[in-house]
């Protein structure tokens, strides 16, 4: 089998499940790709695991079932300010390098799901920059033009995905570092809500604002990775549980820049592509609403032209005064600016931040999402050398405000200019709208029809759509005795329920065979932090009256609540009181109730 140019997750999983490919075959292929790409651009990676190490990891997976792990044999890269055991963490500064004693929490969760870390990628030193030019390990190039920057600070992470070297990569995003490189390399950049992915094991830039971000070739892959990586973590001070914020996806209002605020730094082609993006979203059911950009612009200036830079100095502790001569001069100069601020200045900035957040909250009553250019335009390396701070500031025009105002965002490709350079847009929404804003971004991406990555040879795999429901109907997932052909299925038949699909839960659910239950049935419970393969379920549609009658008949210890599916959707489902469920037998490893019953025969 020949691997596709872009290593999208479902394509690799399908190859594994068909027997056409094994993880060890994949490692041999991509190590060859990496070696070849290094001849073209040697600055993508700071460190790589040896081929022997990677083959040993892959051969462990060869002996396992490809259906047991949701990221079985999927290769990924990690920005080198995130800890990975076995590789130094440098944060782009050799004098800072150290050997971590454990991997970052997100890395551990992804590896537990079957993914394979390939290596650590280059970055703007200490994640300070949007250009990808502030590293002693070299300056990665845009995959389309070696004269142009790759974008930063997550430079190598974006290139590793766009060049087809890994399926996904981890970056970080404080002011746009998970979005600007996505635009410049024609890929997807998901910036989760702050705190949804643990930052334990991340060298902070601004710890109160930092996010670990995800680069992929399609939105479906980004959502899958986020689901597996996300979990509350008491060791990360800003960790939060995701309480999904729902968006209207069929008829929605989207905020756009008024003509007077559309700044593209002279790039008329990108201005036209932004207007085309607005038209595309209107065709998808959206109504444009002009944004008052002034408070967003003020928030952006507060981040980079105010005392929040003190947080960057705080993150470095004693390292900065002792090693500033060892740092990139531009980075050192930015951090030196923190020394002029007082504690009073910092508190005043925090007060203004919260005031701007309240203004932003009121803005969401006017529209559901924002459609922003990801950046005004790409810049050349020579431009950055000539004006390192000015070029960087321009790139953050439409990204800097997002984290400081506690928003979620998903950046996707939006076409190419006549010069062959990519353009992108970012969908911005309130915190915890990660899933729905990504669905909308994916719908736009599919409508634009722009393939991702350097080769532009494969279309992005769409997020599996939820089948349209009849008015007044409800979707119900069943996990046990109500499955088709089992003893309680008649209760669904009497309400004329229609089977819509067979799918799986998200990966953090467990299933228990209940003791002394007649007829035999299981109990489903969610366990945050657990990473399994998901559990097989059936989803039925029934009218609201029938659903009400059905719910009224559900006996204790069962209840009806909301569960998350493997593709991120939520539906109503049977749940069980946790204390009762755990008194039974854990049958999660079987993959579902039907498989468990078959194994007993």
**Per-residue pLDDT at 48:** 98
**Per-residue pLDDT at 244:** 85
Task: Please say if 348 is a catalytic residue.
Answer: no
- Provide the mean pLDDT of the chain: 93
Over residues 434-462, mean pLDDT: 91
Confidence at 588, pLDDT banded by 50, 70, 90: very high
Q: Which residues contact 276 (CB under 8 A, 6 or more apart)?
A: 414, 415
Over residues 419-428, mean pLDDT: 97
32: DSSP letter: H
**Per-residue pLDDT at 531:** 86
Is the predicted pLDDT of residue 44 greater than 90, yes or no?
Answer: yes
**Per-residue pLDDT at 465:** 57
In degrees, rounded to 5, the angle at the alpha carbon of residue 505 between the alpha carbons of residues 232 and 4 is 95
How do 498-504 and 369-373 pair as beta strands? unpaired
Which domains are assigned to the chain?
9-307+327-448 (3.90.1300.10), 473-600 (3.10.490.10)
Which one from 47, 79, 155, 167 is the annotated catalytic residue?
79
Task: Please say if 153 is a catalytic residue.
Answer: yes
Structure tokens at 216: 């992929």
**Per-residue pLDDT at 115:** 98
Maximum alpha-carbon separation in the chain:
76
Confidence at 298, pLDDT banded by 50, 70, 90: very high
Which one from 153, 157, 167, 169 is the annotated catalytic residue?
153
Task: Please say if 108 is a catalytic residue.
Answer: no
- Distance (Å, rounded) from C-alpha 489 to C-alpha 509? 22
**Per-residue pLDDT at 23:** 96
Residue 499 near residue 485 (C-beta atoms within 8 A): no
**Per-residue pLDDT at 1:** 65
Q: What is the pLDDT of residues 304-313, one digit of tens each?
A: 788 999 999 9
Of 570 and 433, the structure prediction assigns the larger pLDDT to 433
Is the predicted pLDDT of residue 156 greater than 90, yes or no?
Answer: yes
**Per-residue pLDDT at 498:** 83
Is the predicted pLDDT of residue 470 greater than 60, yes or no?
Answer: no
Of 127 and 450, the structure prediction assigns the larger pLDDT to 127
Is the predicted pLDDT of residue 122 greater than 60, yes or no?
Answer: yes
Q: What is the pLDDT of residues 174-223, one digit of tens each?
A: 999 999 999 999 999 999 999 999 999 999 999 999 999 999 999 999 99
Which one from 47, 66, 157, 177 is the annotated catalytic residue?
177
Confidence at 59, pLDDT banded by 50, 70, 90: very high
Over residues 476-480, mean pLDDT: 93
C-alpha atoms less than 13 angstroms from C-alpha of 41 in its C-beta half-sphere? 27
- Distance (Å, rounded) from C-alpha 323 to C-alpha 338? 16
**Per-residue pLDDT at 3:** 85
Q: Which residues contact 406 (CB under 8 A, 6 or more apart)?
A: 193, 194, 357, 360, 430, 431
Q: What is the pLDDT of residues 232-270, one digit of tens each?
A: 999 999 999 888 898 988 789 999 999 999 999 999 999
């Amino acid at each position: 089998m020949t691997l596709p140019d872009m290593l999208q997750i479902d394509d690799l999983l399908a190859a594994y499940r068909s027997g056409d490919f094994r993880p060890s075959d994949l490692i041999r292929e991509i190590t060859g790709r990496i070696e070849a790409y290094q001849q073209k651009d040697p600055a993508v990676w700071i460190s790589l695991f040896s081929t022997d190490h990677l083959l040993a990891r892959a051969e462990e997976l060869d002996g396992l079932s490809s259906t047991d792990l949701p990221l079985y044999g999927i290769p990924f890269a990690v920005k080198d300010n995130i800890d990975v055991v076995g590789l130094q963490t440098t944060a782009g500064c050799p004098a800072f390098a150290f050997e971590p004693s454990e991997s970052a929490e997100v890395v551990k969760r992804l590896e537990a799901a079957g993914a394979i870390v390939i290596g650590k990628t280059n970055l703007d030193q200490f994640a300070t920059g949007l250009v990808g030019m502030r590293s002693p390990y070299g300056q990665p190039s845009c995959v389309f033009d070696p004269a142009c920057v790759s974008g930063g600070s997550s430079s190598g992470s974006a290139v590793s995905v766009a060049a087809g070297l890994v399926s996904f990569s981890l970056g970080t995003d404080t002011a746009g570092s998970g979005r600007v490189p996505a635009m410049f390399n024609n890929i997807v950049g998901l910036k989760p809500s702050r705190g949804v992915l643990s930052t334990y094991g991340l060298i902070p830039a601004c710890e109160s604002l930092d996010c670990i971000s995800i680069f992929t070739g399609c939105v479906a892959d980004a959502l899958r990775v986020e689901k597996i990586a996300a979990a509350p973590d008491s060791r990360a001070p800003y960790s939060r549980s995701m309480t999904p914020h729902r968006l209207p996806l069929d008829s929605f209002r989207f905020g756009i820049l008024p003509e007077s605020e559309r700044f593209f730094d002279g790039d008329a082609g990108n201005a036209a592509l932004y207007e085309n993006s607005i038209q595309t979203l209107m065709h998808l059911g959206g109504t444009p609403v002009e944004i008052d950009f002034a408070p967003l612009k003020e928030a952006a200036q507060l981040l980079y032209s105010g005392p929040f830079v003190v947080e960057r100095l705080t993150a470095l502790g004693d390292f900065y005064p002792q090693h500033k001569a060892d740092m990139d001069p531009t980075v050192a100069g930015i951090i030196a600016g923190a020394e002029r601020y007082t504690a009073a200045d910092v508190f005043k900035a925090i007060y203004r931040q919260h005031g701007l957040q309240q203004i932003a909250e009121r803005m969401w009553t006017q529209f559901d999402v924002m459609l922003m250019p990801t950046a005004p335009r790409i810049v050349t390396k020579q431009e950055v050398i000539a004006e390192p701070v000015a070029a960087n500031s321009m790139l953050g025009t439409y990204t800097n405000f997002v984290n400081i105002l506690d928003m979620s965002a998903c950046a996707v490709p939006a076409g190419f200019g006549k010069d062959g350079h990519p353009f992108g847009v970012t969908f911005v929404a309130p915190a915890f709208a990660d899933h729905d804003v990504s669905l909308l971004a994916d719908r736009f991406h599919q409508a634009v029809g722009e393939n991702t990555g350097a080769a532009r040879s494969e279309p992005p795999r769409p997020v599996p759509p939820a089948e349209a429901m009849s008015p007044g109907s409800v979707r119900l997932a069943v996990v046990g005795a109500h499955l088709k052909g089992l003893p309680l299925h008649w209760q669904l038949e009497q309400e004329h329920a229609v089977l819509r699909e067979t799918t799986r839960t998200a990966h953090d659910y467990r299933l228990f065979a209940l003791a002394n239950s007649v007829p035999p049935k299981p109990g489903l419970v969610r366990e945050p932090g657990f990473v399994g393969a998901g559990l097989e379920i059936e989803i039925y549609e029934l009218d609201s009256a029938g659903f009400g009658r059905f719910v009224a008949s559900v006996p204790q210890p069962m209840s009806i609540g909301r569960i998350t599916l493997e593709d991120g959707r939520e539906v109503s489902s049977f749940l069980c009181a946790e204390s009762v469920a755990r008194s039974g037998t854990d049958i999660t490893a079987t993959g579902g109730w039907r498989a468990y019953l078959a194994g007993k025969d």
